[in-house]
Amino acid sequence: MQNYTKCSKFGANSKMRKKFRKPNVEYMLAVLLSFAIIIFVLFISGCGNDEKIHSKQWLYFDTIIELNIYGNPSDASLDSIWQIAKERLALWDSLTDPYDSTSALYKLNNEPIGTVKVDKNLGELINAALDWRNRTDAALEPKIGHIVTLWNIGSRAEKIPSQTEIDSALFLIKSSDIVPISDSICIISGDIKLDLGAFAKGFVVDKLYDSLIKFCIGNSAISGFLVDCGRNIRGWRRNGKSFTIGIANPRGDNIIAAFELPSGWGCASAGDYERFFIKNGIRYHHIFDPRTGKPARKAIAATAITRSAFDADAMSTAAIVMGKNIEKILDDSETTIILFYETNGNVVWESIGKKRNIFQ
């Protein structure tokens, strides 16, 4: 039996700080639906003829999140799983939304300079994001918020800012900092604006995976599950078989490549086709190079395959900024990154890191 699931992804004086402007939700949904055809397509192969697929969807993190449960669990078990998933997703969405004045991230972005308390869950994510900033030599920058809000891509207020505006935002990034003392205490300096869009969804997928595996592994009626949070994917199968993942053409509606994702592993995809606008023939998208303050141009899309969804999320975004240089930071023999480029109107790809059977 073969089934298809579509995924989507999209993440000075404190009194003088500007507030984030939240993208229009209806606009964002329209973009998601308009480009649904170019998003990751997942092929679940090897299901038994009597095995059922139970699916549930939610809207968090400005994207559609889908959870598939495989097997024949009871209605009570399914209800428990849906409740676990919804609670975890709602919690992390409420913590990491930079536009919601009640969220932990919003409050942190508006804290006065000095030592501040941080929600422990959010602090754990920030610590992990800062590790990636160091690992990529700031090609991934959690402090990118000033640039994100300046361009406002994905909202009706999106624009091409002047170089003076970009330079001012870059100065705010360079002159601010956050130093964690623990998961719940940090020191803030300067006008900091964190944006965790390159990290949050993968981090949440791993957290949800950990919760689901504890529930599902002891329930023999469940043969597997798959979490898809905006093209941040991780799944488990009791029989240990892999998932076959197809990658959609970032400039078309066909499948351009596919690979085997081992049970328990994560993968993520990022690209310039998610949130963007085109002006004078130039595509301006939402993945920024923190060194220039402009949309990154080293690749049009990237897919990362590694042991966790969090690392895959960070790597796929970093690859858009770093291009082939992403290979310099691979510190294991297991990770694979697939880079996509546009050359003379054609999309081509190459694989770096661990060699895998990537087929078309």
Distance CA 346, CA 335 (A): 26
What pLDDT score does 13 carry?
Answer: 28
pLDDT of 46 strictly over 60: no
pLDDT of 23 strictly over 70: no
Three-state SS letters, the chain: CCEEEECCCCCCCHHHCCCCCCCCHHHHHHHHHHCHHHCCEEEECCCCCCCEEEEEEEEECCEEEEEEEEECCCHHHHHHHHHHHHHHHHHHHHHHCCCCCCCHHHHHHCCCCEEEECCHHHHHHHHHHHHHHHHCCCCCCCCCHHHHHHHCCCCCCCCCCCHHHHHHHHHHHHCCEEEECCCCEEEEECCCCCCCCCCHHHHHHHHHHHHHHHHHCCCCCEEEEEEEECCEEEEEECCCCCEEEEEECCCCCCEEEEEEECCCCEEEEEECCCCEEEECCEEEECCEECCCCEECCCCCEEEEEECCHHHHHHHHHHHHHHHHHHHHHCCCCCCEEEEEEEECCEEEEEEEECCCCCEC
The tokens describing 295, both together, are 């949309």
Distance CA 215, CA 209 (A): 10
282-285 vs 255-261, strand pairing mode: unpaired
Distance CA 11, CA 201 (A): 8
Distance CA 46, CA 64 (A): 26
Its pTM stands at 0.88
pLDDT of 163 strictly over 70: yes
What pLDDT score does 160 carry?
Answer: 98
pLDDT of 289 strictly over 90: yes
pLDDT of 27 strictly over 50: no
Distance CA 60, CA 262 (A): 26
pLDDT band at residue 50, thresholds of 50, 70 and 90? low
What pLDDT score does 4 carry?
Answer: 32
b/e burial code for range 96-118 (CB count within 10 A of at least 16 → b)? bbbebeebbbbbbbebeeeebeb
Domains and CATH numbers, the chain: 104-189 (1.10.3980.10)
Residue 207's Cβ-count burial label (10 Å; 0-12, 13-18, 19+) is: buried
First to last CA, the chain: 20
For the beta carbon of residue 297, count every other beta carbon within 10 angstroms.
15
Q: What is the mean pLDDT of residues 323-340?
A: 94
Q: For 83-104, what is each residue's pLDDT tens digit?
A: 999 999 999 999 999 999 999 9
- Over the Cα atoms of the chain, what is R_g? 20
What is the number of alpha carbons within 13 Å of residue 304 lying toward its C-beta?
Answer: 28
